[in-house]
Amino acid sequence: MSVASTAATNTSVANTATGMKSGTIDKEAFLSLLVTQLKYQDPLNPQDPSEFVSELAQFSTLEQLTNMSSSLDSLATKTTSAQWISAIGKRVNAPSSTLSPGDEVVISPQSDYDTVTLKLKDSSTGEVTTKTLYKGESLTYTNDGDSTYAIAAQATKNGTAVSAVVTVLKKIAGVSMSDTGNTLVFNDGSTMDATGATVITE
């Protein structure tokens, strides 16, 4: 083999190697390396054909494993999407301060209280409705109407404000699916990444 062809071989192999991840090789790099071996082998001392057969078998196995991995990834995505489709009509805990139709709000005073005041501001008309909930009553309110409301809540004890946590459970109206993941769609048109979301209740 001439010096020029040896240099070309080294350059080609080096270029192939730069396309590899550390300790790994994809099927394109493997095939490129195999073609380079065939192209620059010494015609007076060719490689044993059985070695090429062995390398081709390895390439075939690599390609099958790659295809299998892609199929499993696709199946996992479709399975996750199907799970979220079955969750339509149920609710998830969502970082929101609005209640669209079908949503719930749960108010949790952080200490003893007498009353909880829930204010609902209609997003369309600006009309404000106030609901007073007394100790012993359910602190969950469901928006059974057709409007979307901005909400605020305040707990009190003997006329003094008490800290309270407001949790909004939004009703899933639909699921938008893409290659990058699933997005939950709610009745007010707002959306939320499904990653990490947990179905709370129907």
Across residues 85-104, what is the average pLDDT?
86
Across residues 113-124, what is the average pLDDT?
92
Residue 16 in this model has a pLDDT that exceeds 50: no
Give the closest residue to 134 by CA, choosing from 155, 154, 115, 108: 115
Residue 22 sits at φ, ψ, to 5 deg, of: -60, 115
Which pLDDT value is given to residue 41?
76
The C-alpha atoms of residue 32 and residue 40 are separated, in whole angstroms, by 12
Which pLDDT value is given to residue 74?
55
Residue 169 in this model has a pLDDT that exceeds 80: yes
- Higher pLDDT pick, 188 / 57: 188
pLDDT tier for residue 69 given thresholds of 50, 70 and 90: low
Q: Are 149 and 166 in contact (CB under 8 A)?
A: no
Residue 114 in this model has a pLDDT that exceeds 90: yes
- Higher pLDDT pick, 33 / 184: 184
Across residues 31-37, what is the average pLDDT?
77
